[in-house]
Structure 1
């Protein structure tokens, strides 16, 4: 009888071969940060773009403090920020330019973030707080509060009320801010025109002193802004910007059909209302500080998308770009015809007008985002 060796297996004590280890998941254009079993993929292009814009914004802030009718050396301006320097430097930097810088940073960031949210929600590059009536409603109520014709609310509260009223009217008349982005935009333009007429009527019926006091809320300016309003806007940014960044990630799914987004767990109606509420808060408080600054909410998100790419909703980058554009516009208005000062709202309108015309001529499809 012939015996044969048993096949290798558990009875012979031979260990089975270990499974091959899978390579770590990587996505082109991202950095992978791993900690134990957890890993995070960070998009490379948006992060580098945000860092670059932040560096440019810091440099622009330093120039904003140093350059003007009275030149202050950047190092002297930096020392004046900490309360050290000559009386002239302290007066120019702390009393005159630093409040404008703070107001410009807060207003520009708020408008940039609000514009990014509105454009992504409506799937339209032209849908911003400027064009859908939010800023016009906020300006009308703020002017009314200053002149004392219709309400005794502070400008911040009145501007929020006006922005919310304009948003409610636009949503009700357009049927929402969903796929009908152009209908939402056209209705918003009409609502904004009505509120603009209300502002003109209020100013025409006001006394000369009251109309002069409300002038800043009609053209947009950073000169002699209320510090309490700036502080309120800064506090709102600290709360709203993180929420807007979270909602921005959800807004990416709205680029799909509503049925697909709902299947992925997105509550479409609630998401849209939340986005509009955040845009109302940011736009209303920004108008309460500086008045309606046109084109910031339109240009900043467009620049942010060109830097970050189409795969994200760059809320933070739009806020930084909006702050940068606002500071540059204010610096241009202070220096180009010095000692004559041009309000920053007029500068943004003059510079942004050709950009809006170019955008209208190059937008060929209904869905631009």
Structure 2
């Protein structure tokens, strides 16, 4: 009688080792390779953002312990006083700061990479000034919570179209795009001052908040519109970032690599316009965030993919930190976040101008 054969052992091949500088993330039968630098930078910035949020929710005229503040914000538990202070008074402001900073950081990263110029941001190419001018005009014409998002987005798109048309595009004309954007922004800035000077005093006071950049008393519908825009724009920006890696080279090389250069540029510019316009509709022209956040993200991640998400996280951290300084450094007097970023960002911009070489953004 033949002896029964022993069952064969099924040998499951182990996945190949991750290339140097990457980490393999596996879930079920799927795995993906992620660059180690952006992953570590994203985790670190997320931890810093949570810490800054906790401090922002706990610091003020009524002190709340950071853990109690996070518990009240996330779980909705705590004393009635903590719930009132955290969820009703401070959480909307923190929510607006995170959304505005993330939008400006992502928009700055996209525009810098698109133009190959570290100085090309929504601040410097006229998008913020265009959005501000249209938002102020909308508030003066009809001060409702619906007008600023729509008018600011229209203004940002108008400024982008003018800059793009007058400069002959971006691409190899990055510096021309920047210079023309400065001129377009100056024109819209003058238009804003003209509108305010001709408006009635009550309407001018209502619109003044859109000229300095502040997170105090922001419209919740405008914040909601910005958050919905981010839910669409951030994933789209991550997809577009893969094509932007090829645009770091010449157009000919990018075309050989299979990228459709012109549609990619249009999509990146439109995404930047939406992010910048909706951010201005919430907080006004908060300067320097779109300039500093991508630079901080690149220094943290090192060479590699375009750091769109890392720039968004860095922008949120910088915006909340600036707002925290403005609320506390001269309390009870409050300094608008736009003034804080201007004071801190001015010397940074001078340093960047003195150290920037004529080269494409790394």
Scaled by the length of structure 2, what TM-score is found? 0.92
Q: Distance in 2 between matches of 1:216 and 1:168?
A: 26
Tell me if 1:65 matches 2:57: yes
Match of 1:14 in 2: none
The 8 Å contact of residues 98 and 317 in structure 2, kept in 1 or not, is answered as yes
**Alignment gaps of 5+ in structure 2:** 1-12
The 8 Å contact of residues 66 and 77 in structure 1, kept in 2 or not, is answered as yes
The 8 Å contact of residues 97 and 316 in structure 2, kept in 1 or not, is answered as yes
> Relative to structure 2, which stretch is displaced further, 262-271 or 87-96?
87-96
Q: Distance in 2 between matches of 1:158 and 1:34?
A: 45
Tell me if 1:345 matches 2:332: no
Matching of residues 1-369 of structure 1 within 5 Å: 24=16, 26-33=18-25, 40-81=32-73, 82-148=75-141, 154-369=147-362
Q: CA deviation at 1:25?
A: 6.3
CA change 1:187–1:220 in 2 (3 A) is same
Q: CA deviation at 1:357?
A: 0.5
The 8 Å contact of residues 248 and 361 in structure 2, kept in 1 or not, is answered as no
Aligned CA-pair RMSD: 2.2
Q: Distance in 1 between matches of 2:241 and 2:137?
A: 34
Q: Secondary structure at the match of 1:256?
A: coil
The structure whose Rg is larger is 1
Q: Secondary structure at the match of 2:34?
A: strand
Q: Secondary structure at the match of 1:214?
A: helix
Q: Distance in 2 between matches of 1:93 and 1:34?
A: 38
Q: Secondary structure at the match of 1:40?
A: strand
The number of residues matched between the two structures is 349
Summarize deviations over 1:105-143 as a string: whole Å, max 9, x none: 000000000000000000000000000000100000000
**Alignment gaps of 5+ in structure 1:** 1-20
Q: Distance in 1 between matches of 2:310 and 2:113?
A: 14
Q: CA deviation at 1:42?
A: 1.7
Summarize deviations over 1:73-103 as a string: whole Å, max 9, x none: 1233234334444443233212221110000
